[in-house]
Amino acid sequence: MPDEGQRPIIVKRVKKGGHGHHGGAWKIAYADFVTAMMAFFLLMWLLGSTTKGDMEGIANYFKTPLKVAMQGGSGSGDSSSILQGGGQDLTRRNGQVKKGEIPADKKTYDLKAARAALEHEESTKLQKLKERIQATIDANPLLKKYKNQLLLDITNEGLRIQIVDEKNRPMFEMARAELQPYTRDILDVLALVLNDVPNKISLSGHTDSTPYMTESGYSNWELSADRANASRRELVRGGLADDKVLRVVGLAAANHLDRKNPFNPVNRRISILVMNKRTEEALLRAGGDSGDSLDVPADADGAVKAVASATGGGLAPAPQAKQDAR
CATH number at residue 293: 3.30.1330.60
Tell me the pLDDT tens digit for each residue of 121-171.
888 888 998 998 889 888 888 788 888 889 999 998 999 999 998 877 888
In a domain, 158, yes or no: yes
Distance CA 148, CA 266 (A): 11
In a domain, 16, yes or no: no
In a domain, 292, yes or no: yes
What is the reported pLDDT for 314?
42
In a domain, 121, yes or no: no
Average pLDDT on 263-283 reads 90
* Strand 150-155 relative to strand 201-206, pairing: unpaired
In a domain, 169, yes or no: yes
Residue 39 has pLDDT above 60, yes or no: yes
Gyration radius of the chain's alpha carbons = 43
In a domain, 236, yes or no: yes
Write the CB contacts of 290 (distance below 8 Å, at least 6 apart in sequence): 282, 283
Largest CA distance in the chain: 170
Residues linked to residue 160 through DSSP beta bridges, in sequence order: 153, 273
Distance CA 192, CA 201 (A): 13
Q: 271 φ, ψ to 5°? A: -110, 125
Q: How many folded domains does the chain comprise?
A: 1
In a domain, 149, yes or no: yes
Distance CA 32, CA 291 (A): 80
In a domain, 247, yes or no: yes
Range of the domain at 215: 126-310
Percent of the chain with pLDDT over 90: 28
- What is the model's pTM? 0.56
